[in-house]
């Protein structure tokens, strides 16, 4: 998955954010197939359940059938056509999400060889906030960070100053 570049800064910051809000006694349902970060969570004492590769735009049954205390989705919502329905089907009261932010100087990402490796949404922070609000979540904590790359050029220079990722911790609001 990360043959050429391993996102150690992103993984370090994401793990610290997770540890700040979630105890290892809570079971995590991590959206997406097992991946290097779900392995990092397990190595740090978390119990992690992943999806099995089903098309989450059409099938949210795993969200309803598994038992979990925390829902996570790290760099997955941008791949979904319908993240609203996914959030509506989360059955726990805590979530942590992270997304790559839309960069005004870069087009939406589309792999030429992998149909799953495409970004349908290029989020701005307010868009994710609104999506969470509309689906009944209240953001408790948020963090943005940059993702510099070791290349020369105007875009790589901008990546030193422009936030690239946005993480949130939210709880389900009680509806009356």
pLDDT, averaged in runs of 10, over the chain (176 residues) = 66 96 98 92 97 88 94 89 92 95 61 57 86 96 84 70 88 79
Model's pTM, two decimal places? 0.83
For the chain, helix (H) and strand (E) counts, in that order, are 6, 6
Position 158 scores a pLDDT of 72
Strand-pair partners of 47: 27
Contact 84, 130 (CB under 8 A): no
User: What pLDDT score does 72 carry?
Assistant: 97
Q: What is the pLDDT of residue 28?
A: 98
User: What pLDDT, on a 0 to 100 scale, did the predictor assign at position 51?
Assistant: 93
- In the beta sheet, which residues pair with residue 98? 74, 167
Looking at residue 132, its pLDDT comes to: 96
pLDDT at 105: 53
Q: How far apart are CA 138 and CA 95, in angstroms?
A: 10
Angular region, 153: left φ>0, alpha ψ -120 to 50, beta rest: left
Question: Contact at 8 Å (CB) between 105 and 161?
Answer: no
Question: Residue 85: its pLDDT value, please?
Answer: 92
Alpha helices in the chain (DSSP H): 8-21, 36-43, 61-65, 83-88, 125-134, 154-158
CA-nearest of 124, 135, 71, 67 to 100 is 124
pLDDT of amino acid 97: 96
For residues 162 and 78, give the distance between their C-alpha atoms in angstroms, rounded to a whole number.
18
């Amino acid at each position: 998955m990360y043959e050429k570049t391993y996102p150690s800064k992103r993984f370090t910051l994401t793990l610290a954010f997770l540890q700040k809000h979630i105890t290892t006694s809570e079971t995590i349902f991590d959206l997406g197939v097992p991946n290097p970060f779900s392995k990092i969570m397990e190595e740090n004492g978390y119990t992690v359940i992943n999806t099995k590769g089903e098309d989450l735009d059409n099938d949210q049954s795993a969200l309803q059938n598994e038992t979990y205390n925390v829902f996570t989705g790290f760099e997955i919502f941008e791949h979904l056509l319908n993240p609203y329905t996914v959030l509506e089907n989360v059955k726990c009261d805590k979530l942590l999400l992270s997304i790559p932010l839309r960069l005004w100087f870069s087009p939406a990402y589309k792999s030429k060889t992998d149909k799953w490796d495409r970004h349908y949404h290029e989020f701005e922070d307010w868009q994710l906030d609104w999506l969470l609000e509309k689906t009944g979540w209240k953001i408790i904590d948020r963090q943005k960070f940059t993702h510099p790359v070791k290349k020369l050029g105007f875009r790589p220079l901008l990546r030193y100053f422009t936030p690239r990722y946005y993480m949130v911790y939210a709880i389900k609001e009680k509806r009356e």
